[in-house]
Structure 1
Amino acid sequence: MDTKRTEPAGIAIRPATADDSPLLMKAIIGLAAHVGEADGVACTEDDIRRFGFGEKPAFEAVIAEVDGVFAGMCLFFPVFSTWYGRPGVFVQDLFVDQRFRSLGVGERLLRHVARHCLNGGGVYMRLAVDDDNARAHPFYVRLGFEWTSDQRSYIASGPTFAALSETTGEPT
């Protein structure tokens, strides 16, 4: 049995626009459902438009299409490493529609973002993968990503973030 993966000839990667907000939102919900967290998504299409395509974008995204049909997306934003002294990119979300998985779409998206980062002076790409996303782990390892056991990811959100952001007598 031939297990070689074949990429469709018609994969196109393009920058997302505000008009793609419904597709990005669909992908975010699809990704959340894939990891069993569909009920945890509070983001809306309006949030995507406002924060991704407004005056000061908080992220960028690229869309993959196969023969003109939405196949996936990669949402990312710039980061900076004081250790490297260079910029990089953090991939927040990588999603490939079920119909197009194992065709090279995810790899093409990541390679596109890596080139975009490199062209802007960047030297690294960072991402986080849900522990339970068993299919994703070998995919990233195959592409050369390394798991960093020397760092932990923490988050302050909701009431914790609100409390952290309150002024507590510090000079402004």
Structure 2
Amino acid sequence: MTDITIRPATIKDAGTIVALIHRLAAFEQAATAPALTEETVRRDGFGERPLFTVLLAEASGRACGGVVLLESYSSWAGQPTLMVHDLFVEADMRGRAVGRKLLAEAARLAMARGCCRMDVNVLTWNRTAQDFYGALGFGPLEDWRPWRLDGPALARLAETRK
């Protein structure tokens, strides 16, 4: 079996990160392609104020998976939190504990940052992902459902003055 290593992404990995996100979008059968570019990855992930963290999984010198993490804050707990925003493992590497290793490293990072929890959103149709996260100890929040404001609705609200 090939050894899997997990490491923090660097600015030189921008192209790899974009490629993984595009493959994730294809897997999820997304209606539109991600707008993410190498330039936005370099600016937003490695600029003056990084907005996300990426951990990469490698096997035999090849990136075979990655996880995009966002730090947030729980005003209720009074502590930071870590959000698993995107997790992707190449099809030929699934079933080899790559996702588990990525999330274990993310958990270590969360602990090092003083986070009280890690959160993840799972697509309703992706039973395999639900089972995977459940086996690691994640559980659904029965009383919570994500809501979103974007595009024209976001712009309309931003223009509200009353």
Fold shared, TM-score > 0.5 on shorter chain: yes
Take 1:97 and 1:14, find their aligned partners in 2: how far apart are those partners? 16
Q: Which runs of 4+ in 1 moved over 4 A?
A: none
Post-superposition shift, 1:117? 0.9
The correspondence of residues 4-153 of structure 1 with structure 2, limited to 5 A, is: 8=1, 10-37=3-30, 39-153=32-146
Take 1:46 and 1:37, find their aligned partners in 2: how far apart are those partners? 22
Take 1:62 and 1:113, find their aligned partners in 2: how far apart are those partners? 8
Give the aligned residue type for 1:64.
A
The alignment partner of 2:65 has SS state of: strand
Take 1:68 and 1:51, find their aligned partners in 2: how far apart are those partners? 25
Post-superposition shift, 1:56? 0.8
TM-score (ref. length: structure 1): 0.88
- What 5-or-longer segments of structure 1 have no aligned partner? 1-7
Give the aligned residue type for 1:67.
S
Please provide the CA RMSD for this pair. Answer: 1.4
Identity of aligned residues (%): 38
The answer to whether the 8 Å contact 2:22/2:33 transfers is no
The alignment partner of 1:107 has SS state of: helix
The answer to whether the 8 Å contact 1:30/1:38 transfers is no
Take 1:115 and 1:38, find their aligned partners in 2: how far apart are those partners? 34
Give the aligned residue type for 1:121.
G
Post-superposition shift, 1:87? 1.2
Give the aligned residue type for 2:68.
L
- What 5-or-longer segments of structure 2 have no aligned partner? none
Give the aligned residue type for 1:134.
R
Take 2:142 and 2:56, find their aligned partners in 1: how far apart are those partners? 31
- Compare 143-152 and 31-40 and name the one that shifted more: 31-40
Equivalent position to 1:165, from 138, 158, 162: 158
Post-superposition shift, 1:154? 0.9
Take 2:77 and 2:154, find their aligned partners in 1: how far apart are those partners? 29
TM-score (ref. length: structure 2): 0.94
The alignment partner of 1:135 has SS state of: helix
